[in-house]
Structure 1
Amino acid sequence: MMYQRLFVLGLLAATVVPAVAVAQTPDRAAPFDFRGRYLISVSDADMLASAYIDGSLGPREGRDALSVIPLGGHVRDLQAYETEASNSVAGPPVVLDTTPDGRYVFVVETFAQRPEGNWEDQTFADLQHGNRIKVFDLADPAQPTLVQTLTIAERPDSVSVNADGSLVAVAINPQGDGTETPLALIPFNNGRLGQPIYPPVSTLPREQRLIHAEWHPTQNVLALVNETAAEVSFVQVAPQSGSFELQPWGNTVKIEKAPYMARFTPDGRHVIVNNLFWGPDVEGTWSEAPRGSVVSIRLAAGTQADGSPRHALVSRAMTGVSPEGLAVSPNGQYVVTTNLERSYLPYGDERITWFASISLFTLEPQTGQLNHVADYPFDGILPEAAAFDASSQYLAVVNYDHFDDRVEGGSIDFWRIAADPLNPQPQLVPTRYSIPVTRGAHSMVLVP
């Protein structure tokens, strides 16, 4: 018995030493230095993610919101400052953008906020098309302030600001006013939007959907993503007698089924596009879609017979299922897609995946070659957007909702890119850091 008591005391003594050592370093933590000035996201509080399948909007959690997260200090101390901003998740996750200096934020309203009433009787069909763009001033990022609301064509799908901040491009859904006016160009000067101009788009046939119009990082050139025809065309935007003329710039590039959005690489040499493989010929249109893809297009890879640039599709890689979100790192070396999988299905649907995922790719900046590193499943619902930090070593991901209904709201979750020093292949590592936002987070940008 005495031997046993001494043995136990010895074990207790052995356990005390590490406990004291931990107590002496309470701030010990893995490296985490998310760089930039702010993260900005929007949340659609009007519907549960499962409304895409069963139509039921479900109980409301607050009002549609713009969330601004000032960066600096440790991520565990960060918080979101919110103000109301009508927006909708029903479209690509590109419904907000900022001026290059980060002072002003633009949010387009694809669908208006749901009507008041008994939520049990409200369905997706009750949502009305939106027709507004709002401007918020971030002079004080802890107090985002609405400074202008402008009526535009019905059902805007995306918004993008050009390199000098003087011109805003908005893609218009053909199920709204987009059959006649697929693109709005809106001047922006001295903190105010001017009157929208709707130039003809010769590269887009009537009734085909311009789902995203994205500005080149240095030139007044737009990449126009045609969801219907699965192609990307390019136009130069030139002032013309108080209006704007769209001049085709090079050839149209055929890509893959159901493209969703485009992102240029920071040097402007390539444009990356995600493809969802949705459509009327897919079982459930989108609910049983196969794995998606991401492609790389090299701009001005050569010259055509008429002297215009020849753009070329140079690389493709497979993603997870329904890769709605797309981000390119500031150093041009990484690409991620955020994949819905089937996380948004109703809980009782046997097809549901109790996970979403992120696909990580390396990108060769000179050639545009994509290399699929891995897919990373995680516990989340409908993650439609991601943003790298300014160092390209950390990633923020929006989480629309949680599988645990006792947890209210959505969140911005943080990941790090890491590697074994003896094996430099990058890996994407989830962290425990997360910032609560209004339920329904779906679009996000970083102000570096």
Structure 2
Amino acid sequence: MKKLSATLGMALLSATVVPAQKPTIEFNARGILALSDGDMAASASVDGKLLKQAGVKDALTVYPLPLKLGQEVGSSPVPNSAFGWTRNATITADGRYAYVIESRAQTSDSLKSVKSIAELPAGSTMYIVDISNMGKPSARKVPIGKNPTAVDMLGNNLLITSEEAGKELRLFEIGAGGLPTRNVPIALNLQNARATDVVWHPDGEFVAITVEETKEIWLFKAKRNAQNKIATFEAFGTPAKITGKPGPGAFTPDGNLFIVSDLKDGAGVSELTVVQFNTTATDPKTAEHKVLSSTAVGIGAESFAISPDGSAIVAANKNASAQPWEGSVGKATLSLLTLAKDGKITKVADYDLDGIAPESVVFDKTGDNLAVSVYEYFDYGNRDGGIEFFKVTKGGTPALTKQLAKISAPKGCYTVKIIP
């Protein structure tokens, strides 16, 4: 027994020589909201095999911060779909309500495979989730247009794009209790095309709307009625065009630049493209919008985040991580880039990421930390998802450092949002 004790003592002593790291999560926010698509494996986007687990459903999960070991988290069975990228949820500025659009409806356990997204049940619902009590989120639903594609909110005005002809854009004015008080359908007069993303400009007078089929990003200006309420939106200038497949976009915090992911139809390395919209033209017809630059990141960059000070961007690259396991899979990565005031993006480095299909990335309130969704891991048995965290080094030599602790999330975790 003495010999064993001596051996253990030596092992513990030697372990202290290795630099230690606290297994805590550093993320400056009241909490994190995550969406998980329980309907399919990540590789279903490649081979159509859903690989559903019996009893696993879509979920909305709320993680209050800081987390403690053994702490229970709040969850609600809110239907959602990873085909909505990370554009299918938004949170009020006070962090009390979340709005989740059902891009595609929940599938039955009997559905084993699909040949295309068109075979998935159509979505038509928005879920209003009260997250004021993070331990017990509660949801109610509101009918919206067919197959909604994106949602964004500024103040009490919420916008949704959908595939419903003649009502491609829908404005909800949100009142007490997080409920809509106005529902204004708006036709964008698109021809054989869909509005796939909508983003508020920080000034609240403009929105950027992406039209995937025409590879265009349009700027629209709000038009108000006699009561100073938004009645419709009208095109402001000619659209900016990109070369490949436009993905999600975002304005810089000061509103001077618009960044959009160019997914290249999955056939090549994605790019982040910088657009400068002219919001000061006196005649909307003459407003010219410019594409300033494009910078390569990784393959399948379906999400990126801009730091609160606008100086850095992090893109999440799926690469070949979501390939069927029968073949050869690759490593997902994060790309760290710097963003100058003139729109120049400079890539700093790529960082390997454990797990499959990181489809969402978000900075915390101070920009000191980063959260990344992981759809699932290379695990046999239960294919759970997760949220991984990185420390952000700022200044002249920016860098990302992986934090030791992570959050285990339901299978199919693909969206993370900060609860301020």
TM-score normalised by length of structure 1: 0.83
- 1:178-257 alignment runs, 5 A limit: 179-190=165-176, 191-194=178-181, 196-202=183-189, 205-240=190-225, 244-257=231-244
Letter in 1 for 2:58: D
Aligned amino acid, residue 296 of structure 1:
V
| Aligned amino acid, residue 181 of structure 1 | K
Q: Which runs of 5+ in 1 are unaligned?
A: 1-11, 279-285
User: Identical aligned pairs, as a percentage?
Assistant: 26
Task: Give 2:158's match in structure 1, choosing from 152, 168, 171.
Answer: 168
- When residues 152 and 30 of structure 1 are mapped into structure 2, their CA distance, relative to the original with a 3 A threshold, is closer
SS of the residue corresponding to residue 321 of structure 1 reads coil
User: What is the Cα-based RMSD across aligned positions, in Å?
Assistant: 3.0
Segments of 5+ residues of structure 2 without an aligned counterpart are: 1-5
Tell me the CA shift for residue 398 of structure 1.
Answer: 0.3
State which of 332, 351, 361 in structure 1 corresponds to 2:337.
Answer: 361
Quote the offset at 1:231 in angstroms.
1.7
State the 1:149 CA deviation: 0.8
Distance in 1 of aligned mates of 2:352 and 2:400: 11
Find the aligned partners of 1:441 and 1:220 in 2 and give their Cα distance: 33
Tell me, in whole angstroms, the C-alpha distance in 1 between the residues paired with 2:409 and 2:43.
19
Change in CA separation of 1:324 and 1:161 when aligned onto 2, cut-off 3 Å: same
For residue 150 of structure 1, report the CA deviation from its aligned partner. 0.8
In the alignment, what sits opposite 1:64?
58
The alpha-carbon deviation at position 120 of structure 1 amounts to: 4.7
1:37 aligns with 2:30: yes
Q: Tell me which amino acid in the other structure corresponds to 2:103.
A: T
Change beyond 3 A, Cα 1:275–1:122: closer
Contact map agreement 2:25 2:406 (CA 8 A) in 1: no
Partner of 2:127: 134
1:376 equivalent in alignment to 2:351: yes
Q: Structure 1 20/145 Cα, relative in aligned 2: closer, same or farther at 3 Å? A: same
Instruction: Summarize the alignment of residues 68-107 of structure 1 with structure 2, pairs less than 5 Å apart.
Output: 68-72=62-66, 80-107=73-100
One-letter identity of the residue aligned with 1:58: L
Shift of 1:67: 1.2
The 3-state SS of whatever aligns with 2:289 is strand
- The alpha-carbon deviation at position 435 of structure 1 amounts to 0.5
Rounded Cα–Cα distance in structure 2 between residues aligned with 1:21 and 1:323? 39
8 Å contact from structure 2 (residues 95, 132) kept in 1: no
The count of corresponding residues between Structure 1 and Structure 2 is: 410
8 A Cα contact 1:64 1:85, kept in partner = yes
In the superposition, relative to structure 1, how do residues 243 and 344 fare at CA in structure 2: closer, same or farther (>3 Å)?
Answer: same
Over 3 Å counting, the alpha-carbon distance change for 1:335 and 1:121 in structure 2 is: closer
Q: How does 1:353-432 map to 2 (within 5 A)?
A: 353-364=329-340, 366-418=341-393, 424-432=396-404
Deviations 1:14-48, CA, capped at 9 Å, x for gaps: x959829949x998639963101221121110111
Matched ranges for 1:291-330 at <5 A: 291-300=269-278, 303=281, 309-330=287-308
- Which residue number corresponds to residue 3 of structure 2? none
- Could you tell me which of 324, 335, 358 is aligned with 1:346? 324
1:277 to 264, 280, 285: 264
Counterparts in 2 of 1:310 and 1:436: CA distance versus 1, 3 Å: same
CA–CA distance in structure 2, aligned partners of residues 19 and 167 of structure 1: 59
Mean CA deviation greater in 96-105 or 293-302: 293-302
**Counterpart residue number, 1:4:** none
Distance 1:131 1:372 in 2: 39
After superposition, give the CA deviation of every residue in 1:336-372 in whole Å (9 maximum; x if it has no partner): 11111121121112xx4332111111112x2222111
Q: Cα gap change, 1:442/1:17 in structure 2, threshold over 3 Å: closer, same or farther?
A: closer
Query: Highest Rg: 1 or 2?
Result: 1
> What is the aligned partner in structure 2 of residue 3 from structure 1?
none
Counterpart-to-counterpart distance in 2, 1:248 and 1:314: 21
Contact 1:400–1:440, Cα closer than 8 Å, also in 2:
yes
Give the Å deviation of 1:126. Answer: 5.1
Aligned to 1:155: 147
In 1: Cα distance, 2:391 partner to 2:129 partner: 30
CA-CA distance at 1:381 after TM superposition: 0.9
Letter in 2 for 1:217: P
Q: CA 1:28–1:293 in 2, change beyond 3 Å: closer, same or farther?
A: closer
AA at the equivalent of 2:38? A
Aligned to 1:6: none
